[in-house]
Amino acid sequence: MQTLAAIDIGSNSCRLKIARIEKHRLRVLHQDREVTRLGASVFESGMISPDAMASTLRALKRFYKAVQEAGADRVRAVATAAVRDARNAQAFVAWVKSETGWDLEIISGLEEARLIHRGVMLEPRTHGRCLLIDLGGGSCEITLSDRKRIVETVSLPLGAVRLTEEFLHEVDPPAPEDLARMKHFIRRELGRAGKRFGALPRVPVIATSGTAAALVQASAVVAKSGARPVKRPKRVESIAETRALRRLATKLPKMTNQERSKLPGVGPRRAEIIVAGAEVYAELLEHLGLTGFHYSDLGLRDGVLAQMLAEQDARTSAHQQFERDRWESVLATCKRYGVDPPTAEPVRAHAAQLFRDLQSMHSLPAEYRQWLEAAAMMRDVGKYINYQGHHRHTQYVIAGSELYGFTPQQRAIVSGIARYLGKSRPTPQDRAFRYIAAAEHDNVKRAIVLLRLAVALNQDRASDVLRVTVRSYPKRVLLEIQPGRTGAELELWSLRKEADYFREVFRRELFATLA
């Protein structure tokens, strides 16, 4: 039974969840959370302050100890808006690496939304159509889901810490003019995003994050006519109505931090940012004509764990969903850049066959098959920019695209495989290899050769797809080609051109003949 650990380094807090795989499901072993305000200085100065780094590292060291005690087999640490925006993000990443040994992954806003969606989909009430809202410290992710599939998603710069630092941090309570500027900014951002979602009548809303949890409790107990706090309820509600949220959002700015901190669910640290968070939720629900939200304690770290489970255990339904999401993202990227998937399919099929038939020779990890197939499908996306030098453009497009289910390192590997289909050969100094771990360089070179062979087998697109039989021997590899309607002379010539590079990488001779 493998043990997995997910770490979410957010703009306001860091979270840890450790789970064990039991009977193809996750059983939670340990959870931890600490408010570190990593994003406070970023949204003000563009840099993570030394104090914020140190505070976050103290939390991560505690997490590290818990991970070690649990005997975690895999750890995935992700960072969101604050680290995305910080000019000194790489210094922070290096510090985390030196203190914990973890490779911190900076994920995009849309990848963050996808992982949150994956986590919240563990909720039993998410089988139909629903809207997910995750308002963190630096950004707000809004996702429309239908039958556990993403229909539309957007990431907005409406995090509670970000808005507080940019608009409300000067005086307490906030000045009316600062509050007005913040409201204008929120409405402008929501106005741009609202057009993408259209009308959402009677769509259930699920909200995650600490701000949503605090608003549920605070809105349930603050009286309609005043802001006087009452005793904390024994049972925590999970629903917040839009009308109650608007009343709360109106009252909170009139209170001091100390007064707000006494509200149920808020506390002293949340009191500093709850004004901004309440306004975003109230404005968002009103803008979309929604009646309120249900709170869920699932979120990004649960999505990270679910994806790790999907990658680890092929027998889970999560694995099947994960594979579908990945492949749909690849196809969407092809269409976005003018690549016809049916045209690219024969290259993908031949690449998959070569991977399978030459497994004993190339010894690539199993996951390279998916990365090789993705590279085969997207190898021509660079032509959208310019046919001249399109292989370089392809590498740039893939590495920078939002490919659901692919980490930045995996996108770098896929882009590297697709980069060298012309006359050039990869070197460690190349830009395409600069962002690929040195330990993967030889694997990527082997995958490049397999893709070059698959491309060579599909030179004449007017003919039918060629059938090839692969025979591997200790010192040579033989490709026997069944000619198509227009023959296979061009493919034979192309394959023979690859013989030198094949020998260089695999130390075997390559022969191609007609069957």
> What phi and psi values does residue 19 have, to the nearest 5 degrees?
-140, 155
In a domain, 499, yes or no: no
- Mean pLDDT (whole number) for 23-52: 92
User: What confidence score (pLDDT) does residue 461 get?
Assistant: 58
Q: Are residues 275 and 400 in the same domain?
A: no
Number of structural domains the chain divides into: 3
Q: Are residues 293 and 417 in the same domain?
A: no
Alpha-carbon torsion (37, 39, 43, 49), positive or negative: positive
Q: Are residues 290 and 385 in the same domain?
A: no
pTM (2 decimals)? 0.80
- What is the end-to-end Cα distance of the chain in Å, rounded? 48
Amino acid 502 reads F
Q: Are residues 227 and 362 in the same domain?
A: no
CA dist list (Å): 56 to 135, 272, 483: 20, 19, 62
Summarised one tens digit per residue, pLDDT across range 313-368 is 777 766 777 788 889 999 999 999 999 999 999 999 999 999 999 999 999 999 99
Alpha-carbon span 468 to 457, nearest angstrom: 9
Q: Are residues 132 and 275 in the same domain?
A: yes
Summarised one tens digit per residue, pLDDT across range 242-274 is 999 999 999 999 999 999 999 998 999 899 999
DSSP assignment of 80-128: -HHHHH-TTHHHHHHHHHHHH----EE--HHHHHHHHHHHHTTSGGGSS
- Mean pLDDT (whole number) for 278-292: 93
Alpha-carbon span 251 to 255, nearest angstrom: 7
Q: Are residues 217 and 323 in the same domain?
A: no
Nearest to 126 by CA among 313, 324, 320, 296: 296
Q: Are residues 253 and 197 in the same domain?
A: yes
Which of 107, 131, 151 is at the close of a domain? 107
- Mean pLDDT (whole number) for 80-93: 95
- Asked whether residue 430 carries a pLDDT value surpassing 50, the answer given is yes
- What CATH code is carried by the domain that includes residue 166? 3.30.420.150
Alpha-carbon span 104 to 199, nearest angstrom: 38
The structure tokens 């604050």 sit at 82
User: Among 1-5, 222-226, 498-502, where is mean pLDDT lowest?
Assistant: 222-226
- Mean pLDDT (whole number) for 385-407: 90
Q: Are residues 268 and 151 in the same domain?
A: yes
User: What confidence score (pLDDT) does residue 359 get?
Assistant: 96
Q: Are residues 150 and 257 in the same domain?
A: yes
- Mean pLDDT (whole number) for 472-486: 90
- Mean pLDDT (whole number) for 286-311: 92
Which of 457, 485, 510 is at the close of a domain? 457
Q: Are residues 84 and 170 in the same domain?
A: no
Alpha-carbon span 92 to 88, nearest angstrom: 7
Q: What is the mean pLDDT of the chain?
A: 90
User: What confidence score (pLDDT) does residue 143 get?
Assistant: 93
Q: Which domain holds residue 174?
A: 123-297
In a domain, 190, yes or no: yes
463 pLDDT tier (thresholds 50, 70, 90): low
Alpha-carbon span 134 to 208, nearest angstrom: 5
In a domain, 303, yes or no: no
Q: Are residues 144 and 274 in the same domain?
A: yes
In a domain, 256, yes or no: yes
In a domain, 497, yes or no: no
Alpha-carbon span 303 to 296, nearest angstrom: 13
CA dist list (Å): 61 to 15, 39, 289, 365: 12, 19, 44, 32
User: Among 122-136, 388-402, 467-481, where is mean pLDDT lowest?
Assistant: 122-136
Q: Are residues 324 and 185 in the same domain?
A: no
- What CATH code is carried by the domain that includes residue 98? 3.30.420.40
- Asked whether residue 442 carries a pLDDT value surpassing 90, the answer given is yes
Alpha helices in 140-256 (DSSP H): 160-163, 176-197, 210-221, 242-251
Which of 457, 478, 494 is at the close of a domain? 457
In a domain, 148, yes or no: yes
- Mean pLDDT (whole number) for 169-189: 92
